[in-house]
Amino acid sequence: MTALIIFILVLGILILAHEWGHFITAKRSGLTVEEFGFGFPPRIFSIKRGETLYSINLLPLGGFVKILGEDGTELENPKSFSSRPAGIRSLITISGVFMNFLLAAFLLVIGFYIGLPQIIDKDNEALAKNVKIQIVAVSNGSPAEKSGIKMGDVVKYLKIDSKNTTISEISTLQKNISDSKGKEITIAIQRGKKVLEINTVPRTNPPEGEGALGIALAKTGIISHTWYESVWLGIKSAFIISWEIIKGFGGLLKNLIISGKIPKDIAGPVGIAVLTNQATTLGFIYLLQLVAIISLNLAVLNLIPFPALDGGRLLFLGIEKIKGSKVNPKIENAIHSIGIVLLLALVMLITYRDIIRLK
């Protein structure tokens, strides 16, 4: 129940930040905002304040800001979306993406000031606190996955032939596992506040690119910075992560076009809920970091020029600018409606796949 509440709060913060960007920019531009909605209809609850209806809707898969005239009507009304030049409409359209980026940068600034988990090397080892050997990836079908070892687990010690070996270096763990191929060992891991002893058998002939257990390891620690360093590092990291996400999305779209299949790396609401639960188990700072990364993912996703997304709406504004006149509102609205249906269908498909994975 706690994990569910945290997930709802995280989802709510991300959606509200995005829609607040559209809302406040539209209001500052002197437009009439008819509705600020959390989730998609049917409507559950609503309250009107001034000219705006604030609503909570049944499908918690996003949100919306309904602006007067965004459907191409009310051309003569100076408070309508359609009456404003393409530049103002573009600014309102992209403001949600900007807010998601700003939220992520803000969270990362806080993280760097409090102390974020980082890979430890010779250059930063003296600054690190709570140094540990952590599992950063688990291969599908590996002995580690089958025995219940998870990404984020911290390795405490190995028990081989009733002898405990404390693990403080990755090389020590790798050597002991390599020397024990085909033989049952006990690996003690810390998950949250619990220390678990897990029995597993390292493979004698692991697949290429995987180790005997099928885990990737990293020496991590918490490193904090001064407030002014944190501001710079937070903003810089937001840009770096955004660029990596853009490259990742490019690769995913390429694979989707070539193979015609949805890549396994894509997670829907259920998958994100699982990740949120795992981050919560690891600690507040991990949750903070995850929320920042998800916020940047939403920013990049919304910039994709697909109908109904902010990027799709920007595409139509670009077409308008090139041709010198507005696209027929009926055609544009129909295309965006089809886009919404396709996106909801995709979310349902990914959600179904996420549920199947949990079984």
Pair 25, 91: CB distance under 8 Å: yes
Instruction: Judge residue 83's burial from the number of C-beta atoms within 10 Å of its C-beta, 0-12 exposed, 13-18 middle, 19 or more buried.
Output: middle
Can you read off the two tokens belonging to residue 283?
């600690």
Phi first, then psi: what are they for 71, rounded to 5°?
A: -90, 10
Report the C-alpha dihedral over residues 140, 180, 130, 297, rounded to 10 degrees: -10
The DSSP bridge pattern shows strands 215-223 and 116-119 to be: antiparallel
Phi first, then psi: what are they for 330, rounded to 5°?
A: -65, -40
Catalytic residue set: 19
CA angle 349, 353, 355 (to 5 degrees): 115
Place of tokens 């193979």: 259
The enclosing H or E element of 165 equals strand 163-166
Pair 200, 190: CB distance under 8 Å: no
Question: Which candidate, 149, 134, 105, places its Cα nearest to that of 289?
Answer: 105
Bridge partner list, 223: 116
Instruction: Classify residue 33 by its DSSP letter.
Output: E
Place of tokens 């920007």: 314
The enclosing H or E element of 62 equals strand 52-67
> How many Å apart are CA 105 and CA 7, to the nearest integer?
20
Alpha-carbon torsion (302, 12, 58, 1), positive or negative:
positive
Please report the DSSP string for 101-151 in residue order: HHHHHHHHHHHHHH-EEEE--TTTGGG-EEEEEEEEEE-TTSHHHHHT--T
